[in-house]
Amino acid sequence: MLKNHEKFHSANGKRTILVADDEQINRAILGAILENDFEVLYAENGKEALEILEENREIISVVLLDLMMPVMSGMDLLRHLKEEPELQRIPVIVLTSDQTAEIECLSLGAIDFISKPYPQAGVILARVTRIIELSEDQQIIHSTERDPLTGLYNREYFYRYAEQFDQFHKEMDMDAIVLDVNHFHMINERYGKHCGDDVLRRVGESVRNVVRESGGIVCRRSGDTFMVYCPHREDYRDILENASVSFTEDASSDNRVRLRMGVYSRVDKVLDIERRFDRAKSASDTVRGSFAKTIGFYDSAMLETELYEERLVEDFSAAIRQEQFTVFYQPKFNVRSENPVLSSAEALVRWQHPELGMISPAVFIPLFENNGLIQKLDTYVWQHAAAQIRDWKDRLGVSVPISVNVSRIDMYDPGLVEEFQALLKKYELLPGEFLLEITESAYTQDSAQIISTVKRLRNLGFMIEMDDFGTGYSSLNMISSLPIDALKLDMKFIRDAFRDGKDTRLIELIIDIADYLNVPVIAEGVETEEQLNALRAMGCEIVQGYYFSRPVPAVEFERFLKG
Ligand code: C2E
Ligand code: CA
Ligand code: CA
């Protein structure tokens, strides 16, 4: 590794300077002053200078530029440099006798001036050296504090600058804003990573341009999420509108990226800066998937939720120790024949909190998925489910397969396969008795690793049900190459299909896909006889839902076993 300042040296250890001046005498004077300490390259006009710059962009530390030159003037060269990101970083000192040109040069990106006739050699040397130092320092800062893709601050520096900003503007009302690109992975998939990167760059740039005016700062938080910290504003739409860049050349309105925004307005400065952005992020999540609403605001209701969730996290360990979690079971019936036959049960966890009462997994599962507690909880549920299968076998002499939910986070655990094997061994179960429900969206995230884990599990005889099918974005390509044993149709399809004016086309499509893959479809959330009959007519084999039973405690479930 090069030490920071070393990377700027040319081969002989000196930094390189480009002198661009059409007059031989001026080149000679500057050369005499600089050649002792620097490697000096010369150009006689702007065009030549540009060519030299392009060839030596890595090593040129500074350009001394005359404004009046034939072929291409110094001013034109400055304009050129401004356009090219890679040349932009090279500082330019303008050599001029015309004081009035200074303003224009500055606006074109010149960093300093040396007036003609030239001042003393010592003055020139000192200036040049100083400018080089400054620009190198800035580049070092830049290379560590910026996100390489967008050139925006990275998260760490962003937080630091935001804190600094607060110190100097203690009284100022500030907003924390999070911007997410909707369905960004679709852009990547359809148009390629190159296009995706380009979109992120342009979104970043547009946001920066809007908020810079008001003194705001911007960073890329990760992936397709941006953060903005800016003085409080009343209207946020301009940020959103500017950031909705188009993702193909043809800039008509329907190929603009859709963004959603979360605003935590007039932040409470007592909170850590990160917490403020967590709040903005939560606000953004409230409008996820909504077409009508693109901006979500953090409000007092969300504050209450936040406090409630904190409480749940705090109480988690004790709850596990004291077995406050119970596992409920919901039957799945095979409906191919006239009389439905019990085929398996899904294990669904409940939290019987001593003070807060019964809590639904819809509340705590997403929370525990965010902070990693889910693994402990799932292990707990799997243990109980396995013990339950054993118990029913021993006591009632029946074997009912039980499916457990495997969270996306669990799938990253390198010990997962062994954990399931140990479980089977402990309770002397067959792999076919222990079904695994893995949500479709898990496959879309880091498919390679997940697919290999699924394959290992399946080779060992475990059966995999793809849960929530139709809500993730797995490709047909992927699921057909991936061995699964059932598609579990997400509840929303049934809900939508039977709302007003029955429309079951989507369900039929999914059943088609399942046929093609040669696996059964499990429909969940079936509540009425009408739904049951329609699904059955479409060829759906297995049905789960309130029509048959809600999830119930193990004892209650036994009525399905004795029947
Ligand atoms: P899921 O895996 O999609 O489970 C189905 C959910 O639909 C369950 O909600 C179930 O009670 C509900 N449901 C079943 N039939 C009907 C019906 O006919 N109508 C309606 N309206 N709802 C029905 P529940 O038990 O609240 O679980 C919610 C989610 O929490 C589950 O969705 C699952 O993603 C997660 N979950 C539950 N238990 C566990 C667990 O032990 N581990 C993990 N990782 N996730 C779990
Ligand atoms: Ca499930
Ligand atoms: Ca589901």
Structure confidence by residue, pLDDT tens digits, 245-303: 887 766 555 788 899 999 999 999 999 999 999 999 999 999 998 888 999 999 999 99
Residue with tokens 């800062």: 141
pLDDT digits 0-9 by tens, 360-409: 999 999 999 988 899 999 999 999 999 999 999 999 999 999 999 999 99
| pLDDT at residue 3, rounded to an integer | 36
CA of 512 to the centre of ligand 3 (A): 19
User: Are 69 and 20 within 8 A, CB to CB?
Assistant: yes
* Span 68-95, average pLDDT: 85
- Per-residue DSSP letters for 480-540? HHS--SEEEE-HHHHHHHTSSS---HHHHHHHHHHHHHT--EEEE---SHHHHHHHHHHT-
C-alpha 493/C-alpha 522 separation (Å) is 12
List residues bridging with 461 in a β-sheet: none
Residue with tokens 């396969």: 417
Residues above pLDDT 90, as percent of the chain: 61
Is the pLDDT higher at 517 or at 429? 429
CB atoms within 10 A of CB 341: 10
User: Are 322 and 309 within 8 A, CB to CB?
Assistant: no
Ligand 1 pocket: which of 316, 348, 378 to mutate (most atoms within 8 A of CB): 348
- Angle ∠(531,535,536) on CA atoms, nearest 5: 115
For residue 241, CA distances in Å to 192, 291, 302, 370 come to 24, 15, 26, 30
Min mean pLDDT across 135-139, 156-160, 193-197 is at 135-139
| Token digits of residue 165 | 């900003």
Q: Kindly give, in sequence order, each residue whose CB lies less than 8 Å from that of residue 185, ignoring residues fewer than 6 positions away.
A: 444, 473
Q: Does domain 155-298 have CATH number 3.30.70.270?
A: yes
CATH number belonging to domain 316-562: 3.20.20.450
pLDDT digits 0-9 by tens, 442-458: 877 666 788 889 999 99
| pLDDT at residue 6, rounded to an integer | 44
Rounded (to 5) percent helix, strand, coil in the chain: 50, 20, 30
C-alpha 65/C-alpha 22 separation (Å) is 10
CA of 330 to the centre of ligand 3 (A): 12
Nearest Cα residue to 302 out of 288, 315, 284: 284
Residue with tokens 């606000």: 283
C-alpha 312/C-alpha 363 separation (Å) is 10
| pLDDT at residue 121, rounded to an integer | 85
- Looking at the predicted structure, is the pLDDT value of residue 2 above 70? no
| Token digits of residue 47 | 């065009």
Radius of gyration for the chain, computed over Cα atoms and rounded to the nearest angstrom: 32
Nearest Cα residue to 215 out of 226, 196, 227, 229: 229
Nearest Cα residue to 451 out of 348, 442, 543: 442
Min mean pLDDT across 258-272, 333-347, 468-482 is at 468-482
Q: Which CATH number fits domain 16-145: 2.120.10.30, 2.130.10.10, 3.40.1350.10, 3.40.50.2300?
A: 3.40.50.2300
* Span 78-107, average pLDDT: 80
Nearest Cα residue to 423 out of 472, 388, 467, 465: 388
The SS3 of residue 222 is strand
C-alpha 65/C-alpha 433 separation (Å) is 79
Nearest residue CA, atom 37 of ligand 1?
Answer: 348
C-alpha 536/C-alpha 354 separation (Å) is 42
C-alpha 27/C-alpha 10 separation (Å) is 21
For residue 432, CA distances in Å to 78, 327, 383 come to 72, 20, 16
C-alpha 54/C-alpha 66 separation (Å) is 18
C-alpha 199/C-alpha 179 separation (Å) is 14
Is the distance from the beta carbon of residue 551 to the nearest atom of ligand 1 less than 6 Å? yes
Q: Which atom of ligand 1 is nearest to the CA of 410?
A: 44
| pLDDT at residue 544, rounded to an integer | 98
Is the distance from the beta carbon of residue 546 to the nearest atom of ligand 1 less than 6 Å? yes
Nearest residue CA, atom 10 of ligand 1?
Answer: 551
CA dihedral 379, 380, 385, 390 (to 10 degrees): 100
CB atoms within 10 A of CB 26: 18
CB atoms within 10 A of CB 218: 26
CA of 353 to the centre of ligand 3 (A): 24
Orientation of helix 374-396 relative to helix 361-371, angle to 10°: 130
Is the distance from the beta carbon of residue 348 to the nearest atom of ligand 1 less than 6 Å? yes
Nearest Cα residue to 124 out of 52, 32, 48, 56: 32
Is the distance from the beta carbon of residue 528 to the nearest atom of ligand 1 less than 6 Å? no
Domain boundaries, the chain: 16-145, 155-298, 316-562
pLDDT digits 0-9 by tens, 137-153: 777 776 777 888 888 98
* Span 533-550, average pLDDT: 96
C-alpha 206/C-alpha 212 separation (Å) is 10
Is the distance from the beta carbon of residue 470 to the nearest atom of ligand 1 less than 6 Å? no
Nearest residue CA, atom 32 of ligand 1?
Answer: 362
C-alpha 398/C-alpha 343 separation (Å) is 12
Nearest residue CA, atom 17 of ligand 1?
Answer: 525
Q: What are phi and psi of 354, to 5 degrees?
A: -60, -30
pTM equals 0.67
List residues bridging with 220 in a β-sheet: 226
Ligand 1 pocket: which of 365, 371, 557 to mutate (most atoms within 8 A of CB): 365
CA of 405 to the centre of ligand 1 (A): 9
Q: Kindly give, in sequence order, each residue whose CB lies less than 8 Å from that of residue 63, ignoring residues fewer than 6 positions away.
A: 17, 18, 19, 20, 49, 53, 90, 91, 92, 93
How would residue 5 be classed by pLDDT, with cut points 50, 70 and 90?
very low
Nearest Cα residue to 34 out of 114, 121, 147: 121
Half-sphere exposure of 431 (CA within 13 A, CB side): 15
C-alpha 153/C-alpha 220 separation (Å) is 7
